[in-house]
Amino acid sequence: MTTATVQPAASSLGAKPSRPTFNFSAGPGCLPEEVLQIARQDMWDIGGAGIGILECSHRGKIYDKVLAEAEADCRRVGNIPSNYKVLFLTGGATSQNFMVPANLLPDGGVADYLTTGYWAEKSYEQARLYSEHVREAFSGKASRYTYCPKDDEVSYDPKAAYVHYCSNNTIMGTEFHHVPRPPAGVPLVCDMSSDIYSRPLDVTPYGLIYAGAQKNLGAAGCTVVIIREDLLERNPRPLPQMLQYRVQAKDESRHNTPPVFNIYLTGQVFKWIERQGGLSAMAKYNAEKAKLIYDAIDSSGGFYRGHARPDSRSLMNITFRLPTEDLDAKFIAEAAKNRMIDMKGHRSTGGIRASTYNAMPRAGCEALAQFMKEFQRTNG
């Protein structure tokens, strides 16, 4: 469902942004300008209905269409096979930390977790509430979470109910550039919160994918879950209805009143991605943008020190440090004066983090790379 007055462009990648500020926040992150303009219009009057999207009943015809389009667009963009359900839930990715084991892990069962960073550790800790046999099949702690492991570094248990990993470690700035391969028959579960739909995706190796929308897919409040249908039937324990994937699937993600606006917005982001040329166009654009900043790090002669091992560098969150913490702070403050905001590293790691999600314009990365060179010249 789109508005009558805002006519979306075929592709706006590389277009000059009309707002002067570049938002490098790790999430909620920047949104495509075009999506915001469409949403502004639809908030006032969606599709000529005389009311805005925020005022629509979740059981009415307008929302029926919004939801159907969001699901169809999500499936088309991600090439999601028909034996997977797409759910739009609430509670953020953090709620998936307990929903996954609650729905998939029997009492006393084994589950394997690859703890490659802060969020993956949170997922592991929550799963431990369900079984003492939840294992760290790989821990990145000793190497300060600087990389994502290859399969021969992971000790998989073939009896595991599933293997969980986080494809992009938002805080550490590391990203898997391959899909882990658990033993045959063990479903793969992935927290894709910070890199979903940033590159082509083959859903078939996965049993379940989840992502909070507020980085690449929209606004906080909507969590996308893509789940293989056979997993809906596992049902290892009685659970409140709201927490059961199969109830949410049966009730089309509206067991209760869903966040109508947030799901609408995520739907608009799927349409935007498709207009840009889909996931392969996003991947190319994201690689070009990240390269601008990694090149500035690599050519700085050690003034900027990246956290991630080069083979695990994230294209979404670029983490680095300057020679001193004082210089880190000065860099962040001066960047903000130059309208490049929200680059302070997470409270657990410090340093600098520039998040370059799908909606970050190339102009933002060019401006940051230029600023990094100038800052080094005057402070190096």
Instruction: Name the residues that contact ligand PLP, by CB under 6 A.
Output: 27, 92-94, 119, 166, 170, 191, 193-194, 212
CA distance 85 to 87: 6
Supply the minimum distance, in Å, between the C-beta of residue 97 and ligand PLP: 8
Catalytic residue list contains 44:
no
Active site residue 191: yes
Closest distance between ligand PLP and the C-beta of residue 335, in Å? 21
| C-alpha gyration radius of the chain | 21
Out of 112, 119, 271, 328, the active site residue is 119
Q: Which of 215, 271, 289, 344 is catalytic?
A: 215
Q: Which is nearer to ligand PLP, 182 or 212 (CB)?
A: 212
Q: Which residue number, 34 or 92, has a Cβ lying nearer to ligand PLP? A: 92
In the complex, least distance from residue 303 CB atom to ligand PLP, rounded to whole angstroms: 28
In the 3-class helix/strand/coil scheme, how is the chain assigned residue by residue? CCCCCCCCCCCCCCCCCCCCCEECCCCCCCCCHHHHHHHHHHHHCCCCCCCCHHHCCCCCHHHHHHHHHHHHHHHHHHCCCCCEEEEEECCHHHHHHHHHHHHHCCCCCCEEEEECCHHHHHHHHHHCCCCCCEEEEEECHHHCCCCCCCHHHCCCCCCCCCEEEECEECCCCEECCCCCCCCCCCCEEEECCCCCCCCCCCCCCEEEEEEECCCCCCCCCCEEEEEEHHHHHCCCCCCCHHHCHHHHHHCCCCCCCCCHHHHHHHHHHHHHHHHCCHHHHHHHHHHHHHHHHHHHHHCCCCCCEECCCHHHECCCEEEEECCCHHHHHHHHHHHHHCCEECCECCCCCCCEEEECCCCCCHHHHHHHHHHHHHHHHHHC
- Of the candidates 73, 191, 195, 328, the residue annotated as catalytic is 191
Q: If phi over 0 gives left and psi between -120 and 50 gives alpha, with beta otherwise, what is residue 45?
A: beta
Tell me the C-alpha distance between 253 and 58, whole Å.
Answer: 10
Q: Which is nearer to ligand PLP, 314 or 376 (CB)?
A: 314
The burial of 329, by beta-carbon neighbours within 10 Å (0-12 exposed, 13-18 middle, 19 or more buried), is given as middle
Phi and psi at residue 133, to the nearest 5°:
-95, 20
Cβ nearer to ligand PLP, comparing 192 with 372: 192
* Cβ-based nearer residue to ligand PLP, 174 or 300: 174
CB of 104 to ligand PLP, least distance (A): 18
Q: How far is the CB of 215 from ligand PLP (least distance, A)?
A: 7
**In DSSP terms, which residues pair with 188 in a beta bridge?**
163, 206
Measured from the CB atom, is 3 or 97 closer to ligand PLP?
A: 97
User: C-beta of 123: minimal distance to ligand PLP in Å?
Assistant: 8
Question: Which residue number, 92 or 364, has a Cβ lying nearer to ligand PLP?
Answer: 92
Nearer to ligand PLP, 119 or 304 (CB): 119
Smallest distance, ligand PLP to C-beta of residue 170, A: 3
Q: Which residue is nearest to ligand PLP (CB)?
A: 92
Residue 178: CB minimum distance to ligand PLP, A: 18
Q: What residues are labeled active site? A: 119, 191, 215
